[in-house]
Amino acid sequence: ETGVTQTPRHLVMGMTNKKSLKCEQHLGHNAMYWYKQSAKKPLELMFVYSLEERVENNSVPSRFSPECPNSSHLFLHLHTLQPEDSALYLCASSQDGQGASYEQYFGPGTRLTVT
Amino acid sequence: QKEVEQNSGPLSVPEGAIASLNCTYSDRGSQSFFWYRQYSGKSPELIMSIYSNGDKEDGRFTAQLNKASQYVSLLIRDSQPSDSATYLCAVFDRGSTLGRLYFGRGTQLTVWP
């Protein structure tokens, strides 16, 4: 266990559904991330939150909406997804700032299937 | 766009051999480098971090960094079948606002008994 938990671990949803992915880190970190990993493709960074400030990747469709209520919790709200959004969604956390190691620790991921 | 390049493999070595995984990166200003191991169907696991030129050893793993050549490698000594996984190289870039990791596509390693 890395100290980063994600729920649910598996999710099947229709294209008209709305669902949310949850991530919680117990490491005292101040930065959290959402990544997408599709088969045969490299990890794609979706969103970064550091000290609760969001950096948005402009290539992420608006059907993905992140929320970071505090430094320990991160959500990814999903709506009107497409089949090509089926992937492993990974949450990670790190300590950012002066003298930090910037080591990122990943949660177990949510395997999402859009039907 | 920062680039991190890895040999896609697959790399296949016999048990007990040394596995050598290589990675190059495009941004000369990068300062922090990481190796992750990812088993099939699982999430990436951090196994090595290196920040300065030279070698860093941790058990059977040795990371090597050469900033002048923009090259980082991972050696796995006495390879075991349990080392069979995809190894991801990652480079941290502080950027203008918030930092982020740039990942390579990964090298698939198979260690056969």
Rounded CA separation B44/A112 (Å): 17
- A31, A48, A106 member nearest B44 (Cβ): A106
**pLDDT tens digits, B88-98:** 999 998 765 66
Rounded CA separation A88/B62 (Å): 29
- B100 to chain A, any CB pair closer than 8 A? The answer is yes
Say if CB B113 and CB B81 are below 8 A apart: yes
Rounded CA separation A93/A71 (Å): 9
**Cβ–Cβ gap A102/B32 under 8 Å:** yes
Q: How far is B77 from chain A (nearest CA, A)?
A: 24
Rounded CA separation A98/A25 (Å): 21
**Cβ–Cβ gap B103/A105 under 8 Å:** no
Which pLDDT band holds residue B64 (cuts at 50, 70, 90)? Answer: very high
**Cβ–Cβ gap A104/B101 under 8 Å:** yes
Q: How far is A91 from chain B (nearest CA, A)?
A: 9
Q: What percent of chain B has pLDDT over 90?
A: 80
**Phi, psi torsion values for A17, nearest 5 degrees:** -75, 165
**Cβ–Cβ gap B32/A96 under 8 Å:** no
Which pLDDT band holds residue B14 (cuts at 50, 70, 90)? Answer: very high
- B34 to chain A, any CB pair closer than 8 A? The answer is yes
- B23 to chain A, any CB pair closer than 8 A? The answer is no
Q: Measured between beta carbons, which residues in chain B are less than 8 angstroms from residue A43?
A: 44, 88, 103
**pLDDT tens digits, A46-68:** 999 887 677 767 689 999 999 99
